[in-house]
Amino acid sequence: MAFRTLDDKLLVEFINATPVLSAKLGLGGHSDELEIKEVGDGNLNFVYIIKGPSGSLVIKQAVPYVRCIGESWPMTKERAYFETETLLEHGRLCPDHVPEVYHFDRELCVIAMRYVEPPHIILRKGLIRGIEYPLLAEHISEYLARTLFYTSLLYLNTADHKAAVAKYCGNVELCRLTEQVVFSDPYKVSEYNRWTSPYLDDDAKAVREDHILKLEVAQLKSKFCERAQALVHGDFHTGSVMVSVDSTQVIDPEFSFYGPMGFDIGAFIGNLILAYFSQDGHSENSSDRQLYKEWILNTISDTWNLFYKKFTSLWDKHSDGPGEAYLPAIYNDPQLRLLVKQNYMEDLLHDSLGFGAAKMIRRIVGVAHVEDFESIVDLSKRAECERKALRFAVNLLKKRREFKDIKEVISAISSS
């Protein structure tokens, strides 16, 4: 079937023509028993929940433009292929936290996958409501440790790693979009930028005129473009995670590519920091969200500390494996190995803080904002929350190398 944007009628035709999907839904030739609901609230794609007599699934279609802008901003449909490949690879490495793919149609750019059913909700929405998720840090740290370690040169030989890097170079258009919206547009006058005006006019201007900030952002952009460290999700914010009290599922890796590990870690931590600064805008009085803010800070700390422990444990487990980053014949002294590990993890923390801060800045003065702030109806109150987050992010980006551990970061957030 040649590419067409699917509607309900075409969806039914597609499902009927795909045995694995009709069987999953339990159709038995009765397509009138299907319940179809379009639920895509992201920036790029159409997403449908399909329910049949004995099963359910999600169908996601990539269209050749940025959905939130319209056909005036073209965008490759091939992103669906890279999303599928990453769901399969990350699902192999961390099956408990990645939804299963049932079918992929490359011509239609359609992915059919597990429906992550209620009570799962998008994590960002849970954070806005003030819901605690006791296993979130445990699950996210597991996902990050396994997907990043096993796709890096700490585990892979250089031939396999370069082959994987070459494959993902095809997702260049999504990478260029990230370069534009994260590392370029917020720091210049752009038709796509927006902010809570007039309250943040001076703040947005200050970002555009901060020379030290621009120098630091240039370094981060260079790492983003040049450092093929591991297979990263590429857009790992709190809208790309579905949660319940005891389950966490990572979705939407269409921006995936071989890049710096800190880009994923930082994106998640940065979005938790945004959630932290948004809480005062959702509170009924000055103290009713205080305990929840402390939970967010604990979750940030736990996520990094658990990731550190799990990632380095995998490194130790496979120290004599095929990975060619640090050959055992060279790094055969215990003290040297410890020093290598400490330097590696310190650099990774600083990368994560820098990328996280850049993600925060772009969500306040760039094109795509976050519901954490956008759902605060009182504009002056919203701007006050955003200003605190923006000023913290700018300072964090410029001074990220001064932080020796996550505890110092938490202290800085608390005192902002």
Distance CA 260, CA 250 (A): 19
- Alpha carbon distances (Å) from 317 to 276, 310, 360: 36, 10, 35
Which contiguous run of DSSP H or E holds residue 112? strand 110-113
Per-residue pLDDT, 1 = 67
Distance CA 189, CA 166 (A): 34
Q: DSSP labels for 220-233?
A: HHHHHHH---EEE-
Per-residue pLDDT, 386 = 98
Per-residue pLDDT, 44 = 82
Mean pLDDT, 10 residues at a time, the chain of 416 residues: 89 94 86 86 86 96 82 88 98 98 97 98 98 98 99 98 97 96 98 97 98 98 98 98 98 97 99 98 88 98 98 96 96 96 98 99 97 98 98 98 98 97
CA angle 42, 43, 49 (to 5 degrees): 35
Q: What's the pTM? A: 0.96
- Alpha carbon distances (Å) from 156 to 137, 164, 253, 320, 330: 26, 10, 21, 12, 17
| 104 within 8 A of 112, measured Cβ to Cβ | yes
| 98 within 8 A of 241, measured Cβ to Cβ | no
Residue type, 234: G
Q: Name 103's bridge partners.
A: 112
Given CA atoms 142, 351, 309, 267 in this order, what sign does their dihedral have? negative
Distance CA 251, CA 243 (A): 11
Per-residue pLDDT, 41 = 72
Per-residue pLDDT, 30 = 63
Per-residue pLDDT, 312 = 98
Which residues 6+ apart lie within 8 Å of 135 measured at CB? Answer: 245, 246, 247, 248
Residue type, 110: V
Per-residue pLDDT, 361 = 99
pLDDT tens across 24-64, in order?
999 876 667 899 999 987 678 999 999 999 999 999 999 98
CA angle 205, 206, 211 (to 5 degrees): 120
Distance CA 174, CA 43 (A): 12
Distance CA 89, CA 99 (A): 11
Helices (H), 286-370: 290-317, 334-365
